Structure 1
Amino acid sequence: MLLFARLPTDFDPVRVGEAEFRAALSSMVLDIPLRVASSAPGQRGGGLAPGSGGSGGEAWQADMARSYGRLCEQRGSPGDCFTLFNDGPYLQDDDKRSIAMALAVGPALEGIDAEVRAMIDPTRVLATVSITLSAYMALLIAPEPVTKGVAAAFAVLLWGYLGFEFFELVRAYRRLSEEAARATTFAELREAGERFGRVIGPNSVRILVLVGTAAVGETAALMSRAPKLLGFGQASRTVELNAGLNLVDAAAGVERVIVSVPEGTLRAVLPMTAVAMAAKGGGGQRPAITGGKLLFNGHRAWRSHSGITNALGSPGKGKRWHHIVEQHASNIKRFGPEAIHNTENVIPLDEGLHTAVSAFYSSKRRFITGTGSLTVRQWIRTQSYEAQREFGLRAMENIKRGVWK
């Protein structure tokens, strides 16, 4: 049996340290097939051979191709080191995106240690991983972003690692994609790649490289590598706590993933076996969330605050249980207690942020309510459940970043 679930993104990303990342990456690259030409789904574009001529409207192609050739030479792999020219004489948009992605993640991949470098060609690793990443990320920003197979598993794993930063990554890649497609100079490709790296930050770059390296190949290969990834245990526990899902079962069994960046939603068709299972990973096993009522979206619900908090246990050191849609009597009367006390709506939040959000709701903000006579809480309780939830998520993010004070 399958269920159609909206996956929450209101949790913090896994943190991956630089030293741990370098060690993990060095062991991973020895296990991936370096099949550059066939490492990613879909059709590949060709390109003008480095140093070839061009005239008229093709002159920029020649200049960019020569710059690409110099990049390959600098990396010790003269010629078409990313195999972008196999099926045509020009650099197509997807070729330029792959180059920009390589320039974005290249510094992270330089962490491969010397012993591993002696056994493999680091340029082929960079080419394979960047082409894979570019192809899978392109599916997430497509006009009809329905992702299946290994690309769907890739998306689910990124979600489990990144939480609320998942959409920052997708938005940043959309910008990289648009800028790379417009680029007519190598400098513009480099700027697009470097901007992407700055926007998502070094931690998200490391996570993207880890998951992307594991994703080279088929779904079975990805899922055999995933539980061994650095930080996978933490990602699994976070997903179980926030979504009631087993991350391994969700990624391995996902039928399709639908990403809507404008709406900020991530939906997936998942097997029922992914729901309320014990998470597996480096941190050992954690008891599944039991009790309550199993909802159609895979979350569990209770009829009281004490019921859900007793089932969930401690939120963790320095954290408080937080209701995204508030649990006051008005909401409970309008939407029912199970719409309020469920594992999609109740999340662990840092105590300081929890206090700040509560204080914000108690304050009067004309720029939100449109009047100085209502508090934010008085205003928001008149809105729909979905509107309250979307506002609650936005409030946490904006307060955390200091946009709303």
Structure 2
Amino acid sequence: MSNRTFSSRPVGKRRPLLAGALAMAALMLLTACATGSPSGGGMTAYGYSLPTSEDSPEAWTLEAEAEEEDTGGGEAIFSNLPTDFRPVRVSDPELKAALTTFWLHVPLRISTACPPLYVGRKLALTSVPVSGEAWRSDMAQAYGKFCEQRGTPGDCLTLFDDGPHLQDNDKRSIALALAVRPALEGVDAEVRAMRNPTRVLATLSFTITAYMALLLAPEPVTKGVALAFSVLMWGYLGWEFFDLLRAYAQLYQDAPQASSFEELREVGDRFGRVIGPNSVRILVMVATATLGETAALVSKGPKLPGFGQASRTIETNTGLRLMDAATGAERAFVSVNEGTIRIVLPVNAVSMTSRNGGGRSALKPEESTKGGRLLPGGHRAFNSFRAFKRHMGKAGDGQEWHHLVEKHKFNLKRFGAEALHNTENVIPLEKSLHERVSAFYSSKNFDITGSYGLTVREWIRAQSYEAQRSFGLLVIRKLRGGEW
């Protein structure tokens, strides 16, 4: 196997740049209103602080253990969610009725300083025309005509708030707005009397851009409205969920390359063609439902068209209650490359009974809180390694417990304790092999890291959860086979 294949960067040279850009875009979008800055060290690689030369793997592990709060071995469900089910079908009339209800009766707001992820002030009804330097380019003038045709002359998507030029993210917003506009056209007549439909489009454009960037970033999606958005999209789209993510990744890459408004229109149209009109309707519908605090979603979610079908499908396939998963999940790990979704849930989010005695279940009835064996479709997670070992016992004669995604403090901070100390990530390994794996991670291997200064451990910890896990399995296979 070549070094490139081994490097756990399966989409080529540009993938780390894309992932980093997406992570940065999400960070900028979701922290634009915050003051101050996160604490941290000095120089970073891939956006994460690197340890000093005095740091040792053992010190990382000990510090991670010290930071864990052992509250008596509390459990969670760490489940690998299936996507092998058909998407729910939502018709244009159903979408129109749902959006009209939400937009006319749910308070929305649009902020020019950060994405509108929280319920608060009502949606702005006017936009201020912009003149001068902002409109000098042909693309900006075409954008102005687009806004005028929509009934709101000026900067209708608030793209010039950060300066007089259309930036890369502005182009992505335009392409996305053009992609979802057909799904909104049938709602305009109902909304126009009370709300400016173009400002609604701006709200959705900002919101979808922020959520999708989070889903494609290497960081897990943490508890909140964005996590609820991802779970609902999975429940509605099934196997088309990853088609949506791949299509948006392509839009994210293509839009900044556009040199004219027509090229942006083609980027948006291509996105719409790839995922299809049904997925566009679901994207718009779920994004609208998730505008606001998670608590508001509890009442809005079950009113969505097709929610009953989506909920029954999810419970049959996983044993999970869809709204409990959407509003109660702690973290979600989405890997587009691997086509997997992993999620951390409280135990009470799992149904304890199987309807009609059939269907796959993430956890079998009554066995979810008993025993220490691996469970079909789901895995038990713990809030500390100490709690894991107390419940699971010893790894076995001549064996030791090994974390595929390592349990040092950096991973603990990024992914959370349950993502590290669970029965999928922690496996028994022969003691001698375990020592060789640890030594390999501590070594400096230029062919893998591309740097003479980084250890393998320092290099891999900047990768996504799924990349670290795949790399860990590969290291074990290679060392066990004597290839290194």
TM-score range, shorter chain: 0.5 to 0.7
Q: Relative to structure 1, is the Cα distance of residues 287 and 27 closer, same or farther in structure 2, using a 3 angstrom cutoff?
A: farther
Instruction: Find out whether 1:216 has 2:291 as its counterpart.
Output: yes
Does structure 1 retain, via aligned residues, the 8 Å contact 2:115–2:210?
no
> What is the aligned length?
286
In structure 2, the partner of 1:92 is 167
Structure 2 residue runs without a partner (length 5+): 1-74, 119-128, 380-484
3-state SS of paired residue (1:24): helix
In structure 1, the partner of 2:271 is 196
Root-mean-square deviation (CA), in Å? 2.9
Mapped partners of 1:300, 1:50: distance in 2: 54
Structure 1 residue runs without a partner (length 5+): 43-48, 280-284, 302-405
Does structure 2 retain, via aligned residues, the 8 Å contact 1:156–1:251?
yes
Structure of higher RCO (CA pairs closer than 8 Å, 6+ residues apart): 2
In structure 1, the partner of 2:305 is 230
In structure 2, the partner of 1:64 is 139
Does structure 2 retain, via aligned residues, the 8 Å contact 1:13–1:164?
yes
Q: Relative to structure 1, is the Cα distance of residues 223 and 278 closer, same or farther in structure 2, using a 3 angstrom cutoff?
A: farther
In structure 1, the partner of 2:442 is none
Paired amino acid for 1:26: T
How big is the shift at 1:138? Answer: 1.1
Q: Relative to structure 1, is the Cα distance of residues 300 and 76 closer, same or farther in structure 2, using a 3 angstrom cutoff?
A: closer
Q: Relative to structure 1, is the Cα distance of residues 193 and 145 closer, same or farther in structure 2, using a 3 angstrom cutoff?
A: farther
In structure 1, the partner of 2:99 is 25
Does structure 2 retain, via aligned residues, the 8 Å contact 1:169–1:200?
yes
In structure 2, the partner of 1:12 is 86
In structure 1, the partner of 2:177 is 102
Paired amino acid for 1:172: A
3-state SS of paired residue (2:137): helix
Paired amino acid for 1:178: Q
Question: Which residues in structure 2 correspond to 1:267-278 (within 5 Å)?
Answer: 267-276=342-351
Q: Relative to structure 1, is the Cα distance of residues 277 and 99 closer, same or farther in structure 2, using a 3 angstrom cutoff?
A: farther
Question: Which residues in structure 2 correspond to 1:6-405 (within 5 Å)?
Answer: 6-30=80-104, 31-37=106-112, 38-40=114-116, 52-53=132-133, 62-112=137-187, 114-276=189-351, 291=365, 293-294=367-368, 299=377
Q: Relative to structure 1, is the Cα distance of residues 83 and 175 closer, same or farther in structure 2, using a 3 angstrom cutoff?
A: same
Any idea what the Cα deviations from partners look like across 1:252-296, whole Å, max 9, x if unmatched?
1111111111111111111111111689xxxxx999976474376
**Scaled by the length of structure 2, what TM-score is found?**
0.54
Paired amino acid for 2:305: L
Query: Quick one: which of 77, 95, 100 aligns to 1:3?
Result: 77
Does structure 2 retain, via aligned residues, the 8 Å contact 1:108–1:205?
yes
Does structure 2 retain, via aligned residues, the 8 Å contact 1:5–1:298?
no
**Scaled by the length of structure 1, what TM-score is found?**
0.65
How big is the shift at 1:87? Answer: 2.6
Mapped partners of 1:247, 1:13: distance in 2: 14
How big is the shift at 1:32? Answer: 4.2
Paired amino acid for 2:175: A
Mapped partners of 1:205, 1:180: distance in 2: 18
Does structure 2 retain, via aligned residues, the 8 Å contact 1:96–1:181?
yes
Mapped partners of 1:151, 1:2: distance in 2: 20
Q: Relative to structure 1, is the Cα distance of residues 148 and 174 closer, same or farther in structure 2, using a 3 angstrom cutoff?
A: farther
Any idea what the Cα deviations from partners look like across 1:323-355, whole Å, max 9, x if unmatched?
xxxxxxxxxxxxxxxxxxxxxxxxxxxxxxxxx
3-state SS of paired residue (1:112): helix
Q: Relative to structure 1, is the Cα distance of residues 152 and 139 closer, same or farther in structure 2, using a 3 angstrom cutoff?
A: same
How big is the shift at 1:130? Answer: 1.6
3-state SS of paired residue (2:193): helix
Any idea what the Cα deviations from partners look like across 1:131-180, whole Å, max 9, x if unmatched?
11111011111243544421111000000000000000000000111111
How big is the shift at 1:20? Answer: 1.8
Paired amino acid for 1:119: M
Mapped partners of 2:97, 2:86: distance in 1: 24
Mapped partners of 1:84, 1:101: distance in 2: 13
Moved over 6 A (4+): 285-290
Q: Relative to structure 1, is the Cα distance of residues 22 and 271 closer, same or farther in structure 2, using a 3 angstrom cutoff?
A: same
How big is the shift at 1:68? Answer: 1.3
Does structure 1 retain, via aligned residues, the 8 Å contact 2:353–2:365?
no
How big is the shift at 1:116? Answer: 2.9
Mapped partners of 1:300, 1:192: distance in 2: 39
